[in-house]
Amino acid sequence: MSAIPSHAQGPADTPLLEETIGANLDRAVAAFPDREALVDLATGRRWSYRELDRDVNRVALGLLALGVGRGDRVGIWAPNCAEWFLVQYATARVGAILVTVNPGYRTHELAYVLRQSGIRTVVAARSFKTSDYAAMLAEAAPDCPYLRDILLIGSPEWDALLAAGEAADPGQLTEIGAQLSPTDPINIQYTSGTTGFPKGATLSHRNILNNGYFVGELCHYTEADRICVPVPFYHCFGMVMGNLAATSHGACVVIPAPAFDPAATLAAVAAERCTSLYGVPTMFIAELNDPGFDGYDLSSLRTGIMAGSPCPIEVMKQVVERMGMRDVSICYGMTETSPVSTQTRTDDPLERRVSTVGRVGPHLEVKVVDPVTGATVERGAPGELCTRGYSVMLGYWEEPAKTAEAVDAGGWMHTGDLAVMDEEGYLNITGRIKDMVIRGGENIYPREIEEFLYTHPDIVDAQVIGVPDAKYGEELMAWIRLRPGAEPLTPEALRAFCAGRIAHYKIPRYVHLVDEFPMTVTGKIRKVEMREQAVELLGLHDAAQTRHA
């Protein structure tokens, strides 16, 4: 019997949505005019689908009055708020390309994105946390030749945009909508580059509307669902898996706070009777460890999504048991694929749902290939995960060479992630190709060790990296967060815990106790920064200079 290749195709029984985001929203408004569509808890504002349609159109007509047209780039730079949501749908209605700007950017990064994407109009918060957005925009603007308008939310300019939209002829939107195509570019999202400047993944209506829709289908969303979205809108997790999954099913989006706060998130679920909750693993860990956790009524929760970075099995089990999210789903993907490629299903056995990233999504295709030869490997063998289908981006904005490096001639997006596909098509992500540690010729996947460390009763979170070593090339270092009140964990104590349970070469040589990890604003651990800090902490400068074959 021949070995089965690591290749799988998703079901295609439910057809793709061949419509624009605006047309899809029209259908939801017609079907559910009086159902709640959006709740912004920080400001106490609420919208039914009818009211949402009115305000989206007001913003869309205001943008037209400013001269924004099809294909023009409109930046949005703000934490999660209702205005962000309105601008997302308004730009889609007029065919403008929404450029989502990371709320954590400083002036240098902001200026790069403004210039590289050719942003014409920016909608921004005045400030957020320690960032003075207004001042940074004023500083960056002179070097951005395409920039015409800066609209600060709540400013006279923003109010003027709304007033212009109120006075305009809504018939314009009908005419424009008829000219738009589902394959038009609609969104540029800058992927967080670990080296050099980020790249602008360019996505179409078809890319992100279908991805949001099918993610929602696999969560069994209906108009009765209320989705708590504490993940950032500027990223696909918030604006696609959150907003578009909701509106394509007539469901409601609940914004618990402008930025993630575990207590505010738990309070929102309880007060708004949310049926679904989203988060990256670090968010769920923070919620589960919130001092007031037991005081929140989470009985309304049915489902939710954990994604964004590898999901620890032990955390997933607690989410099911302690939060009541019996149908919780793990999703895997990347910005360049709109984002979701694989997802667990509600009818998957619990063990599959807590230990894999599921199977390929509808209308998509995945394979696992040898990173060197490109040949598809047998099931059970590790390799690089590639994906193909409607979700693959149009390309990196004005960077054809970088696009060609990522998407091959066959249309396959090369993810850079290491994965294993089992006999039934379930996938495990075992790490990043660049995160793999080679210690004395042994290939070590940090994810495997991290999963083991989660079984230690005092460890809340663990991240394993490779650090330079003169003898072995690389050695293992564990960065660990302990439970409050736990005794400090020494390297010797950790080694004793590991001894006899994992191979000796997988036991971390170094242990570093931390309160938090270096992270991107989306909650992804920055292992590159951890490695840089480790060289300083451990005095490994000489080892870092050692050359190895």
351 pLDDT band, cuts 50/70/90, is confident
Task: Mean pLDDT check: name the lowest of 23-32, 309-318, 324-333, 376-385.
Answer: 309-318
The reply to whether 21-421 and 436-545 are identical in fold is: no
Contacts of 136 (CB under 8 A, 6+ apart): 106, 107, 110
100 in Cβ contact with 235 (< 8 Å)? yes
Extents of the domains making up the chain: 21-421, 436-545
Model confidence at 1: pLDDT above 70:
no
CATH architecture, domain defined by 21-421: 3-Layer(aba) Sandwich (3.40)
477 in Cβ contact with 506 (< 8 Å)? no
Q: Which residues are registered as beta bridge partners of 475?
A: 467
Q: What is the pTM of this model?
A: 0.86
> What was the pLDDT predicted at 2?
55
195 pLDDT band, cuts 50/70/90, is very low
User: Which phi and psi (to 5°) does residue 542 adopt?
Assistant: -65, -45
The CATH number of 436-545, from 3.40.50.620, 3.30.9.30, 3.40.30.10, 3.30.300.30, is 3.30.300.30
Longest CA pairwise span in the chain (Å): 74
DSSP secondary structure string for all residues of 117-179: HTEEEEEE-S-BTTB-HHHHHHHHGGG-TT--EEEETTSHHHHHHHHHHHHS-THHHHHHHHH
User: Would you tell me how many other CB atoms lie within 10 Å of the CB of residue 398?
Assistant: 13
pLDDT, tens only, 393-444? 999 999 999 999 999 999 999 999 999 999 999 999 888 887 878 787 777 8
> What was the pLDDT predicted at 194?
41
Chain-centroid distance, C-alpha 268: 21
> What was the pLDDT predicted at 354?
83
> What was the pLDDT predicted at 388?
98
CA 84 – CA 107 distance, rounded (Å)? 20
- CA contacts within 13 A on the Cβ side of 68: 34
pLDDT, tens only, 14-60? 999 999 999 999 999 999 999 999 999 999 999 999 999 999 999 99
547 pLDDT band, cuts 50/70/90, is very low
